Amino acid sequence: MKPASKAIRIQTEQTGQKEHSTPLYLTSSFTFDSAEEMRAAFADESDDNIYSRFSNPNSQEFIDKMCALEGTEDGYATASGMSAVFASFMAFLKSGDHLLSASSIFGSTHTVISKFLPKWGISYSYADINKPETFEQLIRPETKMIFVETPSNPGLDIIDLEWLGKLSKKHGIILNVDNCFATPALQTPAQYGADLITHSATKFIDGQGRVLGGIILGRKELIKEVYTFCRSTGPALSPFNAWILSKSLETLSLRMEKHSSNALELAKRLEKHAELDWLRYPMLPSHPQYAIAKKQMKQGGGLFTFQIKGGIERGRRFLDALKMASLTANLGDTRTIATHPASTTHAKLTEEERMASGITPGLIRISAGLEDIDDIASDIEQAIAQSR
């Protein structure tokens, strides 16, 4: 079966009831028929579930589907995207190690890297995504991991994964890619040599703004390290959220096609708007890394950004003038969402750090939903006009 079919057809073992939809295994622990069976499970001699902090059939179904989609061997599902990012660092980095990332990353990830990792003696550097040569220049003997987002949140910067896969292999460094914006429906980093793939499943994977979740995927030997860290420290995904997320994967490729076609159409209609300084979308030839996007992504995804003329106040008036689009922190929902990163997700950064990440004061991020394209377009157009 092709990955999209596997995301629909993979199912955890049936109970005696032969239910068509996987049941919810809402249980904290699992029982054993004998002391010997229990001993064997704890000794890792069997695959029996022990405790839902370690594993659960609903989480396992979600992991199996994600492995089929990303082309990876194994995974561990977490309670949020941030716990996935954090665990993917902590399972591999120790005092004295160096993490290389790029300035264009999600705000909370930036906080973990710059405020917490140094507390444990782990140093970091940020390469300039628009000058790829800075990655190699910043590699040190103690560089243990490269962490990137492509497309990045919210800058929509794109990194050549084939090139970065070769670079990290050459230097023997773990390549960790946050694939949240593209999802495996549009881009599979493992194919280019990514060792770890992290996700916030809260976004397009759920796709309906209901639950938090995350996942770390990769080769068996690496996920074993992740599992050992997570089994002891407890960032496990709840079985209920896993059940929701596994169901969501059945429609992921269909939804990503529509998110992408809606975003592309909106980007085309708005790109030349006189009231916008610029508009950025991976699949527009005006995007600086358009050629790379074309090479490694099936479609451009659901997000685009623009800078509205008139700076920060105009940006706020624009948000206030929207009639249909939601003002909310999430993205990747069926409903169109507008955000203003400078005053929200990236507000904790200094002005200087924001500018280094491409977060200009008037930057607006739109997550194109699945509503009728004409309704989304007219809402954005009237809000641009109203906010003048």
Listed in sequence order, the DSSP H helices in 71-160 are 81-90, 107-111, 133-138
Number of residues that bind ligand PLP (CB under 6 A): 16
The residue among 235 and 383 lying less far from ligand PLP, judged by its C-beta, is 235
104 contacts ligand PLP (rule: CB under 6 A): no
**Residues forming beta bridges with residue 338, ordered by sequence position:** 327, 366
* Separation in Å, CA 270 to CA 106, 182, 305, 345: 25, 22, 11, 24
The residue among 287 and 314 lying less far from ligand PLP, judged by its C-beta, is 287
Among 55, 56, 187, 200, binds ligand PLP (CB under 6 A): 200
* Minimal distance, residue 347 CB to ligand PLP, in Å: 15
Q: What is the rounded distance in angstroms from the CA atom of residue 376 to the CA atom of residue 388?
A: 19
Query: Which of 115, 158, 106 shows the shortest CA–CA distance to 329?
Result: 106
276-280 and 214-218: which strand pairing? unpaired
Q: Which residue is nearest to ligand PLP (CB)?
A: 81
The DSSP line for 10-27 is --PPP-TT--SSPPP---
What track of x and - describes contact with ligand PLP for positions 131 through 170 (by CB under 6 A)? ------------------x---x-----------------
Helix 57-70 with 239-249: angle, nearest 10 deg: 30
Q: What is the rounded distance in angstroms from the CA atom of residue 36 to the CA atom of residue 126?
A: 51
60 contacts ligand PLP (rule: CB under 6 A): no
Among 202, 248, 262, 289, binds ligand PLP (CB under 6 A): 202
* Minimal distance, residue 7 CB to ligand PLP, in Å: 20
Strand stretches in the chain, DSSP E: 74-78, 98-102, 123-127, 143-149, 174-178, 196-200, 214-218, 276-280, 303-308, 326-327, 337-339, 363-367
The residue among 110 and 314 lying less far from ligand PLP, judged by its C-beta, is 110
Among 54, 76, 106, 281, binds ligand PLP (CB under 6 A): 106
* Minimal distance, residue 359 CB to ligand PLP, in Å: 14
Question: CB under 6 A: which stretch of 54-62, 77-85, 133-141, 348-356 binds ligand PLP?
Answer: 77-85
212 contacts ligand PLP (rule: CB under 6 A): yes
248 contacts ligand PLP (rule: CB under 6 A): no
Question: CB under 6 A: which stretch of 78-86, 88-96, 254-262, 362-370 binds ligand PLP?
Answer: 78-86
214 contacts ligand PLP (rule: CB under 6 A): yes
The residue among 202 and 387 lying less far from ligand PLP, judged by its C-beta, is 202
Tokens representing residue 137 in the block: 């220049």
**Is the link from the previous residue into 141 a cis peptide, with omega within 30 of 0?**
no
Binding stretches for ligand PLP (CB under 6 A): 80-82, 85, 106, 108-109, 149, 153, 178, 180, 200, 202-203, 212, 214
